[in-house]
Amino acid sequence: MTATMHQPTRKRAASTTRMLKALAFLAPAAIMILIFVFYPVIRTVLLGFQSFKLYDQSNIGYNGLENFRKLLEDPNFSRILTNTFLWVFVSVFFQFTIGFSLALLLKKKFKIIGLYQGLIFIPWALSGFLMGLVWKWIFDESFGVLNDALLKLGLIDSRIPWLSDARWAMAAVIIANIWYGVTFFVIMILAALQGVPKEMLEAAELDGANRFQTLFSVIIPYIRATLILIVLLRIMWITNFPDLIFGMTQGQPAGRTHILSSWLIEKLTLDADWGAASAVGLMIMVILFVFTLFYLMATRLEKDSGV
Amino acid sequence: MMLTALGKGGKFTVLGIWFFFTIFPIYWMALTSIKPKREVNDLYYFPNEGATLESYRILFRDYAFGIFLRNSLIVSLVASFIVIGLGLLGAYALARYEFSGKPQVMLGFLTTQMIPGLISLAPLYLLMQKLGLINSLIGLTLCYVGGMVPFATMMLRGFIQRIPPELDEAALIDGCNRFTALFRVVTPVALPGIAATFIFSFVQCWNELFLAMILIDSEGSKTFPVAMRSFIGGYWIEWGGLSAAVMVGIIPTVIIFGLMSKFMISGLSAGIVKG
């Protein structure tokens, strides 16, 4: 009798101690995250609805949707949205396609594969801002190596004003971004490919499938969930990656190469208008959130996506 | 596979083109950095006999780049060590304990990966201002730790989960408690994963610009990217000095990455990654 009455209490006590122990291990990380990740989100939401100019701190106070209204009325706003869209989707499309192709080529080992991978993975480790400066130098109209090489090869007759003409400038920053981000896809897709069971590939070969059929009906379906997830992560990451643009054009000429996140940086630093900067930040969050919902619905992401 | 259909020659041509495209910008910067000052704008493609390290000398003589490098190194190393410490503790709990509320905690960690770091810039400034940590490398380090911990915890959890639990159970029987089991038994086995996480964190901190730019203004506390930012101020850019500075700034991460790229590749893909 006593034993049966004791059992549940003891069980509950054991589970409570276990929870307390786990929480003790988790506490330091959790506290840091609450202070440095979640608190700033709340503060940004508040700032987005405040007039908060760093150099005019006497006029800080709630101003409703004023920040958002001003952003929407900015003559560059629709261009910035279009740029953001191009920046994200053109970059991701090429990064993915090139990354996938390279991963397929690197799947089979060859002699110097270690060295080769080490070298082509280098961009991943470099600062986006510094590489933006490097690309600015390459794209320089008068002294840049790109115009010089194109002229010498006879591909153009006159120097292209890469960074001073808004249309070329957007193309230039996207090319640099493709350069920067292919590495991530190669690494991820290579890992996913190595997870495809050998037996499946052998079975496909026995069934007489050629390489294309194996790719599209065995490999891609097998790693589909992973692909969907890394593309989503990358879209979110690139949306919030102003470093390269900051190094290359700083939004010039005339604010026409800004994307939302580089615009945020400009509001934050040059204009010191933190209400506006936070409002841009909130826009980015909302856009990404809505996009993620649609993306997940459209791709019906399976639960076991390998997270 | 699609491309291997091109045959071996095609495969190596494609790999060769990509190699050229990847390495060329870095090569070009390196070449510019060793061109003599008056030849910086001259478009030749291979180093000539005039090659000089003058631009590098100027960097350390006329500007305090030694100090900027030291600051970056301190912040990145200290932040990464703390991140690994906190991350290991959290990861161990998430990998080895079953407790009520665990799914919610996991969700909390994953949610952080969805929050753009950029929106934290202004709030973190205001927070650091309250704590009196503006212009302080300690403040910057704390912010980096906070930003990196969620990712590091998830990544390390992945590595610890691959280690059979029997290992730490044996250690518990041998008289370890959970804490000593983690550091004496699990940590050594998870070392490759820890190395990967450490490098990832180090590279992120080393390259971080915007937070450092906002929090730090005094010359003596600037990190390398912040110093670069003021170095290029104005419309006129002196590309000789700048290219040398870029080379100095990327060499540490390239060396570290080169030494550890094997760990990195398995590590990054183990814990699906933000950066």
Choose among A30, A211, A246: nearest Cβ to B1.
A211
Chain B environment of A238 (Cβ under 8 Å)? none
Give residue B136's identity as a one-letter amino acid code. S
- The full set of domains in chain B, from first to last, is 14-52 (no CATH), 56-270 (1.10.3720.10)
Is A25 close to B89, i.e. CB distance below 8 A?
yes
Task: State the pLDDT at residue A305.
Answer: 47
Q: What is the pLDDT of residues B100-149, one digit of tens each?
A: 888 888 888 888 888 888 999 999 999 999 999 999 999 999 999 999 99
B6 touches chain A (CB under 8 A): no
Q: What is the rounded distance in angstroms from the CA atom of residue B222 to the CA atom of residue B208?
A: 12
Q: What is the DSSP string of A256-293?
A: TT--HHHHHHHHHHTS-BHHHHHHHHHHHHHHHHHHHH
Task: State the pLDDT at residue B23.
Answer: 93
Task: State the pLDDT at residue B204.
Answer: 92
Nearest Cα residue in chain A from B110: A307
Chain B environment of A217 (Cβ under 8 Å)? none
pLDDT confidence band for B273 (50 / 70 / 90): very low
Q: What number is the average pLDDT over the span A194-221?
A: 86
Chain B environment of A21 (Cβ under 8 Å)? 93, 97, 178
More confident call, A82 vs B167: A82
More confident call, A30 vs B62: A30
Q: What number is the average pLDDT over the span B161-176?
A: 87
pLDDT confidence band for A226 (50 / 70 / 90): confident
Cβ(B118)–Cβ(A245) under 8 Å? Answer: no
Nearest Cα residue in chain A from B120: A40
Q: What number is the average pLDDT over the span A188-193?
A: 87
Q: What number is the average pLDDT over the span A230-243?
A: 93
More confident call, B2 vs B10: B10
pLDDT at A3 over 60: no
pLDDT at A74 over 80: yes
Task: State the pLDDT at residue A87.
Answer: 97
pLDDT at A8 over 70: no
pLDDT confidence band for B34 (50 / 70 / 90): very high
Q: Which one of A12, A134, A240 makes the best mutation probe of the B interface by having the most chain B beta carbons within 10 Å? A: A134
Share of chain B above pLDDT 70, in %: 91
Q: What is the DSSP string of chain B?
A: -TTGGGHHHHHHHHHHHHHHHHHHHHHHHHHHHHS-GGGTT---SS--TT---HHHHHHHHHS-HHHHHHHHHHHHHHHHHHHHHHHHHHHHHHHH---TTHHHHHHHHHHHTTS-GGGGHHHHHHHHHHTT-TT-HHHHHHHHHHHHHHHHHHHHHHHHHTS-HHHHHHHHHTT--HHHHIIIIIHHHTHHHHHHHHHHHHHHHHH--HHHHHH--SGGG--HHHHHHHHT-SS---HHHHHHHHHHHHHHHHHHHHHHHHHHHHHHHHS----
Closest to B190 measured CA to CA, from B212, B208, B167:
B167
For residue A301, the 8-state DSSP code is: -
Task: State the pLDDT at residue B269.
Answer: 56
Task: State the pLDDT at residue B264.
Answer: 64
Chain B environment of A101 (Cβ under 8 Å)? 2-3, 14
Choose among A29, A107, A122: nearest Cβ to B22.
A122
Task: State the pLDDT at residue A92.
Answer: 97
